[in-house]
Structure 1
């Protein structure tokens, strides 16, 4: 369900564009007659290289998608999520107690039950030129931080689970891919909860500390000069 970079290769690469040109855009849609009780809310977050002088978005960096759920406000949350997407239904069955429709009691050991809402990260992808710098974890963490008010935690499944039968090579490499992606999410505080689902506690300082550390690490990497980048864009 989620994917991102799996680590830098040999040597130190230069990022394709300067970080000060990167912009995160958050979009959310709802129907005219929608109310908070109608169901979960869906958020899309896009990362782009943006020209603040008027040309707008110049290069797409990545996409991140979240679902915000509150089982205390939406009846039959498992059924509602499964109706949207089978993978979301599987996540809901892992997080929610089928007998009550509320979060499982043992989830309290992983996320403090101070709020009734929770985020689910359903998709995280970087364009290939931007992979390998640690940006996937950092941008995901920043998006979670922005969307986290009144949420007890964030959950994710660190591997695609909706592609149907895969070829033998995929079956052989899948465990390694899952383990590698899990290590990426662990950088921002995700811990394995159950059945392959990872959660991060938003009631702790873990996420904020991870953002600070990752920002410092990424900012030290070589970056393409802004004038050189814009000249290259103009020459295309």
Structure 2
């Protein structure tokens, strides 16, 4: 039976993905720093395997992977790196420690999880890594500077590792949605002009469906929602100055 290990699983996109894959017969592993919500979701899913985890803790990452994969013959079919944080606001108004925290969780945490998972992925036919990217990893987005930087890093890591791990038969890809209606977005105190102009039309369940599609396919980048798909593909062929002009208009205060 296929298995999936999800970071950031306690709420939002991670929880929606866990529910979808569990409903479709996969063995689900849940990881998150929020122990109460994590335990509640695990109970909802019939006692699914779960463990509290800070993805920036390298030793804890190693242990969590060993514990989950040890119950599945040392194999891991799919790692979904969903853990991440963001902070909307003017760059100078956000403490440098918060910028660093965003990069540590969104980039270093993802890198540590993926690195530690290699031995289990390599041992599994059809193994795959899906990283939680973002539309803001396509072009730098004002008022979410460090988050955007982190998603550029995720995009680069995904592209490079997809090429490098082909020799091991491990597929690597990412999802690139625009804004998604999740507790993380709803809890922000600052509304970026880009969000106000584009709106929030996606739900966590829409991204979970994209994870399912990605698990069946081999796309390196999977843009989510038709409007952003059009922006993504036009951005591949339009000149850089035009992309900058559009982003400048969307983010104008």
TM-score interval, smaller chain = under 0.3
Q: If you compute each CA radius of gyration, which structure gives the higher value, 1 or 2?
A: 1
For normalisation by structure 1, the TM-score amounts to 0.28
Q: Which is richer in helix?
A: 2
Query: Higher RCO, 1 or 2 (CA under 8 Å, sep at least 6)?
Result: 1
For normalisation by structure 2, the TM-score amounts to 0.27
Q: Which is richer in strand?
A: 1
